[in-house]
Structure 1
Amino acid sequence: MNLTETAGLVGVPIGVVGAVIATLAWRTSAGTRRDQAAAEATRRHREMRPDLAVAIDLRHGPDSGVLAVKLVGPREVERYDWIRVTVRDDKERPPPRTGSGVTLEAQQRQVWGPFWFRPGIEGGSEDHRSAEQGGKAVTDTWLFAIDRVLAPHWYSGGGAAWREDYKGAPMRLRIEVGLGDQSWVELLEIEQPRRSAYEDGGVTVA
């Protein structure tokens, strides 16, 4: 209680003063409980964050393969409800130049990176941009079909230039995993395996 509040109680019956003090104490206690509950919820959310091991498997060749997302942990959670993986573009781009023949919508639809998802397979979306699947238990692995991104027809230098530009570039991902009304997001860059990796039988997610 501050000095202003104390001054305002001068001449007020003791019972009323006691009631005011009790009310202020209750409000303080309620606020403390809310803070403690919020801190506990934050701690639990942090402890329940999924631990992921992610790799690209190109055992069948350099142009198509599997994105493997293994649910390594944590020990506090047995199973998660869903996963959504989205390809992030390699960088932000300014709007197309006027007269280039390229629309802003076409530029934004294009996936700018080495790989995209195969539509209709293992949860892949029609625009190649994302894939979503149901739940998995800890130690299980989600598998997503991926292919090399095709260059848009207006890309300078065509498909050959595109492949050269993205040779060795990482696959940039946004991975969201959900459980009940909670979800966790990871932003990752997954390196492409070396050519010898798929020639030798692919990449194993440990």
Structure 2
Amino acid sequence: MAGPDELAEVEFLSVRVDDDDKDRSHVLGIGATPEQLANHVWGPFRFTPRVDQADEHGRAVGPFKLRIGRGRPFQLERTRPGLWMGGKTMEQWQDEYRDHPVRLVITCRVDDDEWTLARQLPNEAY
């Protein structure tokens, strides 16, 4: 097989919102747990939690089947500052991510073949 575009249907497809490239290890000592850091989406948008098969943190959707050439809409919402961020306002948080793209990691699987695609979508919500 040459790749997913050659197929009629992808049997397993999942999409995950990826974080920006910043190191967050310094945050552990000021109120955030490792679990909170891992679950928080560090970017401008996340999937709306528990909508369209999204997880409770808005980090990922899927798995689901998808025919090649067909789309599937997902509901997104702006990310918010974490509760441990010491009073950072929604406006400050959004200003920080104003020009950042929405980073996605897409995993496709058919039989025993698997592809992982990384994509950056422009953040045009402002």
TM-score norm. by structure 1 comes to 0.55
Gaps of 5+ in 2: none
Distance 1:97 1:121, change over 3 A: closer
CA distance in 2, matches of 1:162, 1:86: 21
Greater per-residue helix proportion:
1
Deviation string, structure 1 residues 44-81 (Cα, Å, up to 9, x no partner):
2xx1x23xxxxxxxxxxxxxxxxxxxxxxx2x321111
Structure 1, unaligned stretches of length 5 or more? 1-43, 51-73, 196-206
Give the Å deviation of 1:141: 0.6
Q: Establish whether residue 153 from structure 1 lines up as the match of residue 89 from structure 2.
A: no
Change (3 A) 1:111 1:98: closer
1:78 pairs with one of 8, 11, 24: 8
Identity of aligned residues (%): 24
2:123 is matched with which residue: 171, 176, 192?
A: 192
Deviations 1:150-174 (A, max 9, x none): 1112325322210100112101111
Q: Report if the CA contact (8 A) 2:100-2:123 is conserved.
A: yes
What's the counterpart of residue 102 of structure 2?
171
SS in 1 for 2:74: strand
Residue 94 and residue 148 in structure 1: after superposition, are their counterparts in 2 closer, same or farther (change >3 A)?
Answer: closer
Once the two structures are TM-superposed, the CA of residue 119 in structure 1 deviates from its matched residue by: 2.1
TM-score (norm 2): 0.85
Counterpart of 1:137, as a letter, is R
Q: CA deviation at 1:99?
A: 5.1
**How many equivalent pairs are there?**
125
Distance change (3 Å), C-alpha of 1:182 and 1:164: same
Q: Match for residue 68 of structure 2?
A: 138
